[in-house]
Amino acid sequence: MADNGIGTSHQANTALIQASNLECKNLYDYLRTRPSTLLDRLYNHPAICLAVYRELPEIARQYVIRILFVEQPVPQAVVASWCHQSYSKEHTHVCQVLSDLFVWHEAPIPGGLPGWILNSTFKRNLKTALLGGGKPWSMSSALEADNKARDVSFLDGYSAERWECVLHYMVGSQQQEGISADAVRILLHAGLMKRDEDDGSPVITRQGFQFLLLDRQAQVWHFLLQYLDTVEQRGLDLGECLTFLFQLSFSTLGKDYSTEGMSQGLLIFLQHLREFGLVYQRKRKAGRFYPTRLALNITCSQNKGVPVLEEDAPKGYIIVETNYRVYAYTDSNLQVALLGLFTELLYRFPNVVVGIITRESVRQALRGGITSEQIIGYLKQHIHSQMLSGDNKNALPPTVLDQIKLWELERNRLIYSEGVLYSQFLSQADFNALKQYAQQTGCLIWSNKEKRTMVVNKTGHDDRKKLEIEECVKIYPNIYNRNLPNEIWCDDADHEHCIEAFQRFCPRHFIIDMMFVKSTTWPVCQF
Amino acid sequence: MVNVMKGILVKCDPAMKQFLLHLDETLKLGRKFIIQDLDDSHLFISSDILESLQTKIDDLMDQISFPMNEKDK
């Protein structure tokens, strides 16, 4: 097959093949990708140790508590024996998690057996967090009473308003006040919005749509992670900000805290949090701030059933009928805009919107990158309390839910994966060897032994070229690669011999691209 | 000699596979695009056809669905 044409359409194809979805990292995923030095610094703060500990898998928490007071390495075999044999997979997983987070590290015990020992900083500070003691957290609450104290409902209203401002901006509804250039930059950086190609104004992306349908807590966490990515460019200290954020997440709602003793960087950070409604400050220089609900427990990953403290959370407003009609009792432009993502709106009244879910409207949403799960999740999350009354467990009509799922499946009847087809192997042994290699590297997508045909993904294909060179070098002592990884040389006067070697190990496809430089006696082969 | 070809692996149900084969045979997309028929649910196709293929499939899906609900009631 000719190679030309692939390059040009490649861009479009990748877009079609890998529809990148919004990636929701939890605390573990986030910290795992940080350098160990940063983690070590973070572990100097009991608040972070506690937060990390709370987010560990259950078995990992068990292990940590068991060895928290052990001052020497514990044999790995002993740790493994705490977990039933049938859960060995989980055991390996949590060991990996603990190592990834540098909560513990390997240490030999006398006698040479491998053992685990907790990171000493982590150990010390987790003890402090659990048992008390240590320095007071920098967020002091020693303040005389605020003569204009704010109560919880005020804070809730405030934070909701601030946060909705950001969301409003994303859906592009005009009526709200704008958000700062800083916040826009974060949205752009997060890939939730992108600059329009024509006029440069930010427009929402598919990730952005998915973001909008997340629940509030997940939104805040995702947004903050993206914010933290940019924190260092602003000249703030990532460690300091993270520490503060975790302390904030353990603070009490409706209580005021002093800004005294906070560094200049933290004060800037506080102003940013204030803009998004994570903290409330009456004035920039008020000297005190109130954490809001958004800031509390931010680290709790979305899948963990967070104890619902949102009794006064916004009431559901959506009614879905079996005839695909949707009634939304709301006057918020944001909610209407969100609903409009996947329904066809028919009528708009002061306090209610009527729409209809159609194949076209759902497909529109699917094309925009929203999944059926997200649509259904959103409907469930905002369902009207009237629909929940009675003993009806499935408040949403199952017909509608199923149909939405079917509409999605209909689009996914074909699954594409870019790859490279290998066929016409000369011997079964060659085929087996390559297949085994592909399996080990995890790049085999399809194979058939009888036909001696296999498909591997692209990265695997490139890796295989390297393997080929290595093999070649191994078997023919006169051949070696030098300088460039994709180049092999033959230190042999016998050209025929070299070319045979090259051909044996480099399939026809590459032979075409090969360049034989017959300088003096050395042929060279380039891929 | 091992034969190496770049393309796209398509995983689908047998019915869809027959549809693709039909498209290929009748040159509905202007040319043949199936490089190799692998098995009941896998095909290997050339990668530059992908876009027009998806449009074609969307058309098919539009044809075999009918409006579920009426707006003016």
Q: Where are the domains of chain A?
A: 32-131, 152-302, 318-410, 476-527
Lowest-confidence segment of A8-17, A54-63, A86-95 by average pLDDT: A8-17
Q: Where do the H-state alpha helices sit in A172-304?
A: 181-189, 206-212, 216-231, 238-249, 264-276
Contacts of residue B39 in chain A, CB cutoff 8 Å? 448
Contacts of residue A358 in chain B, CB cutoff 8 Å? 67-69
CB contact under 8 A, A13 and B51: yes
CB contact under 8 A, B16 and A508: no
CB contact under 8 A, A507 and B2: yes
Residue pLDDT, tens place only, A202-227? 777 778 878 887 878 888 888 888 88
Inform me whether the pLDDT recorded for A518 exceeds 50.
no
Residue predicted with more confidence, A7 or A257: A257
CB contact under 8 A, A9 and B69: no
Which residue, among A317, A359, A341, A347, has the nearest Cα to B73 in the 3D structure?
A: A347
CA A278 to CA A463: how far, in whole Å?
A: 47
Which residue, among A359, A366, A445, has the nearest Cα to A412 in the 3D structure?
A: A366
**Given A344, A359, A418, which is nearest B68 (Cβ)?**
A359
pLDDT band at A352 (very low <50, low <70, confident <90, very high): very high
Residue predicted with more confidence, A490 or A291: A291
CB contact under 8 A, B9 and A416: yes
Average pLDDT, chain A: 76
Q: How many CA atoms lie within 13 A of B65 on its CB side?
A: 18
CB contact under 8 A, A359 and B65: yes
Residues A192/A211, Cβ–Cβ less than 8 Å: yes
Residue pLDDT, tens place only, A416-425? 888 888 887 7
- Percentage of chain A beyond pLDDT 90 is 4
Lowest-confidence segment of A93-97, A148-152, A492-496 by average pLDDT: A492-496
Q: Residue A402's pLDDT is what? A: 92
Residues A468/A506, Cβ–Cβ less than 8 Å: yes
B29: contact with A, CB 8 A cutoff: no
Alpha carbon of A461: minimum distance to chain B alpha carbons (Å): 10
Q: What is the mean pLDDT of residues A97-119?
A: 86
The neighbouring-strand residues paired with A479 are A490
Inform me whether the pLDDT recorded for A44 exceeds 80.
yes
Q: Residue A256's pLDDT is what? A: 81
Lowest-confidence segment of A261-275, A313-327, A463-477, B12-26 by average pLDDT: A463-477
Residue A425 contacts by C-beta under 8 Å, 6 or more apart in sequence?
A431, A434, A452, B2
Contacts of residue B42 in chain A, CB cutoff 8 Å? 446
Q: Residues A431, A434, A436, A437: what is their CA dihedral angle, to the nearest 10 degrees?
A: 180
Q: In what order do the strands lie in the sheet with B42-45?
A: A444-448, A453-457, A415-423, B3-11, B42-45, B34-39
Classify domain A32-131 by CATH number: 1.10.10.10
Q: Residue A392's pLDDT is what? A: 62
pTM over 0.80: no
Top-confidence range, A210-214, A514-518, B34-38: B34-38
Buried b (16+ CB within 10 A) or exposed e, A3-26: eeebeebeeebeebeeeeebebeb
CA A102 to CA A96: how far, in whole Å?
A: 10
Q: Residue A299's pLDDT is what? A: 64
Burial class (CB in 10 A: 0-12, 13-18, 19+), A84: exposed
Inform me whether the pLDDT recorded for A266 exceeds 80.
yes
**Given A1, A414, A448, which is nearest B10 (Cβ)?**
A414
Residues B29/B23, Cβ–Cβ less than 8 Å: yes
A414: contact with B, CB 8 A cutoff: yes
pLDDT band at B63 (very low <50, low <70, confident <90, very high): confident
Residue A126 contacts by C-beta under 8 Å, 6 or more apart in sequence?
A46, A49, A50, A53, A64, A68
B47: contact with A, CB 8 A cutoff: yes
Inform me whether the pLDDT recorded for A470 exceeds 50.
yes
Residue pLDDT, tens place only, A161-218? 888 888 888 877 555 566 777 788 888 888 888 877 777 677 777 788 788 878 788 8
Alpha carbon of B25: minimum distance to chain A alpha carbons (Å): 19
In angstroms, the Cα distances linking A222 to A157, A212, A453, B4, B40 are 21, 11, 43, 42, 42
What single-letter amino acid sits at A24? C
Q: What is the mean pLDDT of residues A293-320?
A: 61
Residue pLDDT, tens place only, A240-259? 888 888 888 888 887 888 87
Contacts of residue B38 in chain A, CB cutoff 8 Å? 446, 448, 451, 453, 455
Q: Residue A462's pLDDT is what? A: 67
- The count of CB pairs under 8 A between chains A and B is 129
Alpha carbon of B20: minimum distance to chain A alpha carbons (Å): 10
Inform me whether the pLDDT recorded for A20 exceeds 70.
no
Residue pLDDT, tens place only, A140-164? 655 666 667 778 888 888 888 888 8
Q: Residue A354's pLDDT is what? A: 93
Six-digit token string for A3: 């190679």
Residue pLDDT, tens place only, A308-332? 444 444 577 889 988 889 999 988 7
Q: What is the DSSP string of A119-176?
A: -HHHHHHHHHHHH--SSPPSS----PPPTT---HHHHHHHHHHHHHHHHHHHHT-SSS
Residues A316/A384, Cβ–Cβ less than 8 Å: yes
**Given A410, A416, A446, which is nearest B50 (Cβ)?**
A416
DSSP H or E run through A14:
helix A6-17
Alpha carbon of B70: minimum distance to chain A alpha carbons (Å): 9
Q: What is the mean pLDDT of residues A5-24?
A: 47
- Percentage of chain A beyond pLDDT 70 is 74
Q: What is the mean pLDDT of residues A31-41?
A: 83
Inform me whether the pLDDT recorded for A526 exceeds 70.
no
Inform me whether the pLDDT recorded for A89 exceeds 80.
yes
